[in-house]
């Protein structure tokens, strides 16, 4: 059964697979690694320009290890899930310091690097080194759970173990493992897609359990729904007399770790008191902008932006480089979370929407 699975898939891949994605042109462990990390939670077409910019700036692991984290986060701005970028940066340093710049060759060593799980390690070893290792990313989980009719959410250990054992059984020997790995990812990304899979174009149209039973939309089972809480924050857009706004770097770990944000407060009252304390000048104007929601995996954040224009010469204590005045018009090389990018753009274009109340 497994030989037949891989043979059918490889025959389909020869004719219909993707062979010219930017990371396929030169499949070094470094390029495969960066592409695999970017592709987690993100679609290929979105990743391509980010990958190309990243590789241009950091063409190899040494360049990434020597980089400034701000610059790494800047090139990741808009992709989200910034822990991925911070982990790449940390892992690059480990590869240079502990492995003399060469990627480790074993699955265990690879998985010991920050941000590299079993599937990513398998993808790097199979695509860049042609070693027989299975992968199980979101696309592969979808194909295998439909093909075999695997019930249950893949976040459950038992379901995941079953998927891994099928992934292991279907993975062919070293000489065709690279094509097979790319093929199963391609099938999930282009044919066996989440909504409306194109079963007529699939090499498994006659043997797939979900197709035979008409239950394609039941696999893979969704994650059980959890109600996530709402939180609120005030973004203080503090503007000095030169038209620059104040940004602060967040702590290196946690939400938006290492990114640059507007100072945050839990209420307008606290904000007003704190600003008076920190800046030896008066508030010339205070404008409330329309609030908006940003959703994280574990909570919704209601963001209430308030624009504060300060009067006169602005003095502020130097807090060891963790604050910067930035012009919204400047193409700053810092990493920003998506809500800050939108607000800076709107401020620059003078298109910020006012609060109706
Ligand atoms: S037959 Fe349809 S559901 Fe089954 S693997 Fe192919 S595309 Fe997916």
Q: Is 187 in the pocket of ligand 1 (CB under 6 A)?
A: no
Residues 173 and 107 in one domain: yes
Q: Is 192 in the pocket of ligand 1 (CB under 6 A)?
A: yes
Over 60: is that where the pLDDT of 315 sits? yes
Atom of ligand 1 nearest to the CA of 187: 7
Assigned domain for 100 exists: yes
Over 90: is that where the pLDDT of 226 sits? no
DSSP state of 204: T
The CATH number for 265's domain is 3.90.79.10
Q: Which of 4, 36, 151, 218 is catalytic?
A: 36
Residue having the nearest C-alpha atom to atom 8 of ligand 1: 192
Assigned domain for 356 exists: no
Q: Is 211 in the pocket of ligand 1 (CB under 6 A)?
A: yes
Assigned domain for 182 exists: yes
Assigned domain for 173 exists: yes
Residues 6 and 33 in one domain: yes
Residue among 16, 143, 201 whose CB has most ligand 1 atoms within 8 A, to mutate: 143
Residues 34 and 67 in one domain: yes
Non-local CB neighbours of 208 within 8 Å, separated by 6+ positions: 146, 147, 199, 202
Catalytic (active site) residue 36: yes
Task: Say how many Å lie between the CA of residue 143 and the centre of ligand 1.
Answer: 7
The CATH number for 150's domain is 1.10.340.30
**Per-residue confidence band for 355, with pLDDT thresholds at 50, 70 and 90:** low
**Per-residue confidence band for 316, with pLDDT thresholds at 50, 70 and 90:** low
Q: Is 208 in the pocket of ligand 1 (CB under 6 A)?
A: yes
**Per-residue confidence band for 1, with pLDDT thresholds at 50, 70 and 90:** low
Residues 150 and 249 in one domain: no
Residues 190 and 300 in one domain: no
**Domain-terminating residue out of 218, 248, 263:** 218
Closest CA to 271 of 317, 237, 299: 237
**Separation CA 146–CA 218 (nearest Å):** 8
pTM of the model: 0.85
Task: Say how many Å lie between the CA of residue 205 and the centre of ligand 1.
Answer: 6
Residues 202 and 237 in one domain: no
Residues 311 and 335 in one domain: yes
Q: What is the DSSP string of 226-286?
A: -PPPEEEEEEEEEE-TTS-EEEEEPPSSSTTTT-EE--EESSHHHHHHHHHHH-SS-EEEE
Q: What is the DSSP string of 329-354?
A: TS---S---HHHHHHHHHHHTT-PPB
Mean pLDDT of the region 282-299: 91
- pLDDT of 199: 98
Residue among 191, 196, 203 whose CB has most ligand 1 atoms within 8 A, to mutate: 191
Task: Report the largest interatomic distance among the alpha carbons of the chain, rounded to a whole angstrom.
Answer: 77
Task: Say how many Å lie between the CA of residue 309 and the centre of ligand 1.
Answer: 58
Task: Say how many Å lie between the CA of residue 191 and the centre of ligand 1.
Answer: 7
Mean pLDDT of the region 224-231: 91
Residues 72 and 88 sit within 8 Å (Cβ to Cβ): yes
Q: Is 202 in the pocket of ligand 1 (CB under 6 A)?
A: yes
**Per-residue confidence band for 115, with pLDDT thresholds at 50, 70 and 90:** very high
Residues 78 and 54 in one domain: yes
Assigned domain for 164 exists: yes
Task: Say how many Å lie between the CA of residue 345 and the centre of ligand 1.
Answer: 43
Assigned domain for 84 exists: yes
**Per-residue confidence band for 318, with pLDDT thresholds at 50, 70 and 90:** low
The parent domain of residue 156 ranges over 2-218
Mean pLDDT of the region 16-36: 95
Residues 252 and 344 in one domain: yes
């Amino acid at each position: 059964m497994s030989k037949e699975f891989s043979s059918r898939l490889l025959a389909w891949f020869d004719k219909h697979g993707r062979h010219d994605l930017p990371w396929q042109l030169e499949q070094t462990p470094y390029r495969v690694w960066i592409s695999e990390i970017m592709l987690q939670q993100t679609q290929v077409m979105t990743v391509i320009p980010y990958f190309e910019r990243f590789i241009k700036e950091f063409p190899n692991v040494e360049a990434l290890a020597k980089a400034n984290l701000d610059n790494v986060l800047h090139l990741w701005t808009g992709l989200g899930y910034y822990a991925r970028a911070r982990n790449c940066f940390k892992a690059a340093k480990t590869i240079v310091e502990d492995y003399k710049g060469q990627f480790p060759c074993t699955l265990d060593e690879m998985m010991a690097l920050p941000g590299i799980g079993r599937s990513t390690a398998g993808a790097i070893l199979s695509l860049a080194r042609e070693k027989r290792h299975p992968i199980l990313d979101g696309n592969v989980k979808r194909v295998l759970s439909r093909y075999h009719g695997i019930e249950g959410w893949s976040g459950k250990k038992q379901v995941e173990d079953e998927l891994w054992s099928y992934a292991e059984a279907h993975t062919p020997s070293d000489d065709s493992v690279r094509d097979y790995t790319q093929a199963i990812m391609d099938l999930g990304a282009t044919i066996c897609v989440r909504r409306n899979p194109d079963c007529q174009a699939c090499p498994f149209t006659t043997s797939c359990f979900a197709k035979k039973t008409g239950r394609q939309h039941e696999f893979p089972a969704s994650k059980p729904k959890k109600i996530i809480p709402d939180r609120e924050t005030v973004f203080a857009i503090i503007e000095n007399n030169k038209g620059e706004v104040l940004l602060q770097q967040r702590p290196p770990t946690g939400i938006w770790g290492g990114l640059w944000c507007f100072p945050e407060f839990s209420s307008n009252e606290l904000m007003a008191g704190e600003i008076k304390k920190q800046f030896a000048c008066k508030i010339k104007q205070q404008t409330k902008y329309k609030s908006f929601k940003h959703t994280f995996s574990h909570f919704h954040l209601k963001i209430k932006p308030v624009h504060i224009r300060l009067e006169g010469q602005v003095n502020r204590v130097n807090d060891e480089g963790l604050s910067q005045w930035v012009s919204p018009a400047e193409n700053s090389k810092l990493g920003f979370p998506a809500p800050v990018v939108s607000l800076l753009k709107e401020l620059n274009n003078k298109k910020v929407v006012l609060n109706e109340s």
